[in-house]
């Protein structure tokens, strides 16, 4: 066959040419080019495409950042949504747009600006100064080279020049600041009358027909999502220490080997008189300082009781002179050199000669000595026992983790062999859905939400494992799931239940309670509305049943809920008193407004408000400029973007 090609190469080329050339006329050369090289385009900026490949790479990087930030709590279902993908695509569009504007306007960044920006990054500084070595280390840890990082930073700085002048110069008008300050600080005196829904429950009746009608009309609200009953094993420190016994010999041996941890070394309390010798002092100055120190040392040695008096009068150590030279309690190693040696060589009440240190000349006196002390074994027995158990547990945990990993794969359709091999309890919980744990009352007996292990079972990685194909459909054991360095799980689905609406008999009481709550709340609202109309008709009368007057503002709401506060603050200033009503949960609250007073903000609060409004104003102006630039540069989001913006689950579906 290959000989035929070699011997008739020119004929083969001619035949291939005959086969290929007509197809160019059928689909066009551009069709071949598209088929061979072009990626789907999601958007265009000034005619330049943003491809599916660019979007997918940015999307992978984004998910990896979330994974690193959230650790074991990372749940793709919460962060990989169509809204998040749309936001990412818009970020890519804005970045491309800003790059184009920067290029068209020849915005550049000088080498000096680039150097100064890099030098100001704290992560590449050593003792507050730029460190080239640290710079290279940090970049290497990120998998980057200096040239690639600097190119990216130069690009980002150039892009920033497009919008920075707008956001940095933005400031909210003074009238807007003043208006918001007035609204935030205005003080209103109000009284409340609460109509409790609970007081009307006894007046409410709900028939079986009412329950049936609600059930028929609202089944969508009763849907129980797909969920599973899971068997699981937990390997943690408690499991690793189960059955561990610590005998007296081990405790005694540990105590002997670690006596330094259970005692306190000798401590000494010292006082000193210091005579400063400035750095670079002349020989005459040094001699004068030593002469003074030796004279003081002689006086102190002759009458140690006067040491504190001499220190207060002569010591040049401002931190201790007023306290008679007291240095406090000292442990071995707290000082250094000749000063350390002198303190630990003196006896109680003994005064040293002149001791030289880098800070000056010292005369030292030991005022108290606290001998070394060792706690008796009985006092630290429980502490030692716990530490030994923890050490044994760490070793056992590693062994058990290895064994658990092996045994869950040996017999994939059951966790019982692994439980038996490791002495772990096989646990069961129900009501675990893809997006979380069902409420205990909905899941029923054995609800995961009511289990001591609820936090473990609600971990996104555990739920992902339970709803993976081999675990959910094939009822196989999961692999070992490491939630933290000292907690591991293995799970298996024992039963799965599809999404369904429970039968009426299982939810009738739930519906009854709901209807009673709704009708009691409506009765409270009606009673409040009727009373409110009467009070509005005669506003000068002082009605009964209202609470004591209280002064509130948007910044100081007191005990008012958000809904009641907003109702009180929305009432017009005239006429007063004024009334309004608002639902507060199931209850209904009538608000009486008696008085309005202007409030004031201090200078710091006013400055903060101005800064916050300035930032918000700048963001709004940035958004306006970006919208204008999108129109100018003819940004288009193409039909292909629709599929890219679907979450992974939806796409798979």
pLDDT for residue 651 is more than 70: no
Identify the pLDDT of residue 411. 87
Position 647 confidence tier, pLDDT thresholds 50, 70, 90: low
- Please give the residue that has the higher pLDDT: either 158 or 218: 218
Q: Are 445 and 462 within 8 A, CB to CB?
A: no
Distances from the Cα of 446 to the Cαs of 256, 426, 438, 637, in angstroms?
Answer: 49, 14, 11, 50
Identify the pLDDT of residue 590. 95
Closest listed residue to residue 378, CA positions, set 266, 264, 265, 262: 262
pLDDT for residue 413 is more than 80: yes
Residues 569-574: what's their mean pLDDT?
Answer: 91
Identify the pLDDT of residue 648. 53
pLDDT for residue 34 is more than 70: no
Alpha carbon distance 88, 397 (integer Å): 42
| 550-552 vs 187-195, strand pairing mode | antiparallel
Least confident segment among 163-167, 263-267, 589-593, 647-651: 647-651
| Percent of the chain predicted with pLDDT > 70 | 93
Q: What is the DSSP string of 605-640?
A: HHHHHHHHHHHHHHHHHHHHHHHHHHHHTT-EE-TT
Closest listed residue to residue 448, CA positions, set 230, 639, 594, 208: 230
pLDDT tens-digit map of 68-93: 877 767 777 777 888 888 888 989 99
Q: pTM for this structure?
A: 0.57
Residue 175 lies in a domain: no
Residue 33 lies in a domain: no
Q: Are 289 and 275 within 8 A, CB to CB?
A: yes
Closest listed residue to residue 185, CA positions, set 480, 598, 628: 598
CATH of the domain at 330: 3.10.50.40
pLDDT for residue 27 is more than 70: no
Residue 279 lies in a domain: yes
Instruction: Based on the fold, state whether residues 515 and 455 are members of the same structural domain.
Output: no
pLDDT for residue 10 is more than 80: no
Distances from the Cα of 392 to the Cαs of 98, 347, 423, 570, in angstroms?
Answer: 60, 46, 16, 66
Q: Are 404 and 418 within 8 A, CB to CB?
A: yes
Identify the pLDDT of residue 67. 79
Residue 280 lies in a domain: yes
| Percent of the chain predicted with pLDDT > 90 | 41
Structural domains counted in the chain: 4
Instruction: Based on the fold, state whether residues 481 and 418 are members of the same structural domain.
Output: yes
Identify the pLDDT of residue 336. 82
pLDDT tens-digit map of 196-230: 999 999 999 999 999 999 999 999 999 999 999 99
Distances from the Cα of 614 to the Cαs of 173, 472, 554, 617, 627, in angstroms?
Answer: 9, 53, 21, 5, 20
* Structural domain range at position 569: 187-198+507-597
**Tokens encoding 35:** 């088929």
pLDDT tens-digit map of 111-130: 888 888 888 888 888 877 88
Position 187 confidence tier, pLDDT thresholds 50, 70, 90: very high
Least confident segment among 104-108, 445-449, 490-494, 519-523: 104-108
Instruction: Based on the fold, state whether residues 363 and 396 are members of the same structural domain.
Output: no
Q: Are 250 and 390 within 8 A, CB to CB?
A: no
**Tokens encoding 369:** 């000595």
Instruction: Based on the fold, state whether residues 109 and 129 are members of the same structural domain.
Output: yes
Residue 215 lies in a domain: no
Residue 256 lies in a domain: no
pLDDT for residue 54 is more than 60: yes
Closest listed residue to residue 592, CA positions, set 602, 580, 583, 584: 580
Identify the pLDDT of residue 493. 96
Q: What is the DSSP string of 13-68?
A: HHHHHHHHHHHHHHH-HHHHHHHHHPPPEEEEETTEEEEHHHHHHHHHHHHHHHHH
Residue 177 lies in a domain: no
Alpha carbon distance 57, 293 (integer Å): 74
Residue 423 φ then ψ, to 5°: 70, 30
CATH of the domain at 156: 1.10.4030.10
Instruction: Based on the fold, state whether residues 276 and 337 are members of the same structural domain.
Output: yes
pLDDT tens-digit map of 244-292: 778 888 888 888 788 777 877 888 999 999 999 887 788 888 899 999 9
Identify the pLDDT of residue 58. 87
Instruction: Based on the fold, state whether residues 457 and 530 are members of the same structural domain.
Output: no
Identify the pLDDT of residue 7. 45
pLDDT for residue 166 is more than 70: yes
Q: Where is the domain boundary, 454, 485, 500? A: 500
Alpha carbon distance 482, 397 (integer Å): 12
Alpha carbon distance 569, 649 (integer Å): 46
Identify the pLDDT of residue 504. 94
Instruction: Based on the fold, state whether residues 52 and 163 are members of the same structural domain.
Output: yes
Instruction: Based on the fold, state whether residues 108 and 163 are members of the same structural domain.
Output: yes
Instruction: Based on the fold, state whether residues 410 and 529 are members of the same structural domain.
Output: no
Q: Where is the domain boundary, 346, 374, 402? A: 374
Instruction: Based on the fold, state whether residues 528 and 565 are members of the same structural domain.
Output: yes
In the block, residue with structure tokens 């091999």: 421
Residues 605-631: what's their mean pLDDT?
Answer: 85
Identify the pLDDT of residue 652. 37
pLDDT tens-digit map of 472-487: 999 999 999 998 888 9
Residues 422-443: what's their mean pLDDT?
Answer: 93
Residue 211 lies in a domain: no
Least confident segment among 32-46, 102-116, 290-304, 372-386: 32-46
Closest listed residue to residue 162, CA positions, set 88, 117, 108, 212: 108
Q: Where is the domain boundary, 500, 529, 561? A: 500
Distances from the Cα of 421 to the Cαs of 48, 55, 407, 425, in angstroms?
Answer: 62, 48, 8, 11
- Sign of the CA dihedral with 549 first, then 555, 558, and 563 last: positive
Instruction: Based on the fold, state whether residues 165 and 45 are members of the same structural domain.
Output: yes
Instruction: Based on the fold, state whether residues 274 and 235 are members of the same structural domain.
Output: no
Residues recorded for the chain? 653
For 5, counting Cβ atoms within 10 Å of its Cβ (0-12 exposed, 13-18 middle, 19+ buried), the class is: exposed
Closest listed residue to residue 419, CA positions, set 260, 232, 242, 169: 232
Q: What is the mean pLDDT of the chain?
A: 85
pLDDT for residue 135 is more than 80: yes
**Tokens encoding 418:** 């692994």
């Amino acid at each position: 066959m290959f000989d035929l090609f070699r011997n008739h190469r020119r004929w083969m080329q001619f035949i291939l040419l005959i086969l290929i050339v007509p197809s160019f006329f059928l689909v066009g050369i551009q069709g071949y080019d598209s088929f061979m090289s072009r990626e789907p385009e999601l958007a265009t900026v000034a005619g330049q495409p943003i491809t599916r490949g660019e979007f997918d790479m940015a999307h992978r990087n984004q998910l990896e950042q979330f994974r690193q930030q959230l650790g074991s709590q990372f749940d793709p279902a919460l962060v990989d949504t169509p809204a998040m993908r749309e936001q990412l695509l818009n970020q890519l569009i804005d970045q491309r747009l800003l790059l184009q504007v920067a290029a068209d306007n020849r915005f550049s960044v000088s080498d000096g600006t680039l150097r100064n920006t890099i030098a100001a990054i704290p992560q590449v500084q050593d003792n507050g100064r730029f460190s080239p070595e640290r710079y290279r280390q940090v970049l290497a840890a990120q998998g980057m080279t200096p040239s690639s990082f600097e190119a990216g930073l130069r690009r980002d700085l150039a892009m920033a020049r497009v919008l920075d002048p707008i956001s940095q110069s933005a400031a909210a008008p003074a009238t807007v600041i003043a208006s918001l300050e007035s609204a935030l600080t205005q003080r209103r005196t109000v009284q409340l009358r609460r109509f409790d829904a609970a007081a009307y429950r006894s007046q409410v009746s709900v028939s079986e027909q009412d329950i049936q009608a609600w059930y028929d009309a609202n089944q969508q609200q009763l849907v129980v999502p797909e969920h599973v009953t899971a068997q699981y094993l937990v390997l943690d420190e408690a499991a690793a220490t189960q059955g561990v016994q610590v005998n007296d010999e081990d405790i005694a041996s540990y105590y002997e080997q670690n006596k330094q941890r259970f005692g306190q070394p000798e401590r000494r309390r010292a006082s000193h008189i210091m005579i400063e010798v400035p750095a670079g002092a002349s020989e005459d100055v040094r001699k004068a300082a030593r002469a003074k120190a030796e004279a003081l040392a002689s006086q102190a040695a002759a009458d140690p009781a006067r040491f504190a008096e001499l220190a207060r009068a002569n010591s040049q150590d401002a931190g201790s002179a007023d306290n008679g030279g007291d240095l406090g309690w000292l442990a071995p190693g707290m000082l250094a050199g000749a000063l350390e040696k002198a303190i630990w060589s003196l006896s109680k009440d003994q005064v040293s000669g002149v001791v030289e240190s880098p800070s000056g000349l010292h005369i030292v006196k030991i005022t108290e000595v606290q001998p070394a002390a060792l706690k008796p074994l009985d006092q630290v027995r429980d502490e030692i026992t716990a530490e030994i158990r923890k050490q044994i547990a760490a070793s056992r945990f590693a062994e058990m983790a290895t064994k658990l990993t092996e045994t869950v794969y040996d017999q994939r359709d059951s966790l019982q062999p692994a439980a038996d091999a490791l002495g772990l309890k096989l646990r069961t919980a129900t009501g675990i859905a893809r997006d979380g744990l069902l409420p205990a009352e909905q899941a029923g007996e054995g609800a995961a939400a009511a289990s001591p292990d609820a936090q473990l079972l609600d971990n996104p990685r555990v739920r992902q494992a339970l709803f993976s194909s081999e675990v959910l459909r094939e009822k196989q054991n999961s692999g070992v799931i490491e939630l933290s360095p000292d907690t591991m799980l293995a799970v298996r689905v024992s039963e799965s239940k599809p999404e369904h609406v429970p039968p009426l008999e299982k939810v009738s009481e739930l519906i009854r309670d709901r209807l009673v709550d709704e009708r009691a709340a409506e009765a409270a609202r009606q009673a409040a509305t009727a009373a409110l109309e009467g009070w509005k008709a005669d506003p000068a009368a002082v009605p009964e049943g209202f609470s004591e007057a209280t002064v509130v503002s948007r910044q100081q709401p007191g005990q008012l809920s958000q809904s009641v506060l907003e109702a009180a603050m929305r009432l017009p200033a005239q006429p007063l008193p004024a009334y309004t009503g608002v639902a507060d949960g199931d209850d209904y609250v009538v608000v009486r407004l008696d008085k309005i007073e202007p409030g004031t903000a201090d200078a710091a609060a006013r400055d903060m408000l101005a800064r916050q409004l300035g930032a918000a104003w700048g963001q709004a102006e940035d958004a306006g400029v970006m919208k204008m630039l999108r129109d100018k540069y003819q940004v288009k989001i193409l039909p292909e973007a629709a599929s890219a913006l679907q979450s992974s689950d939806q796409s798979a579906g």
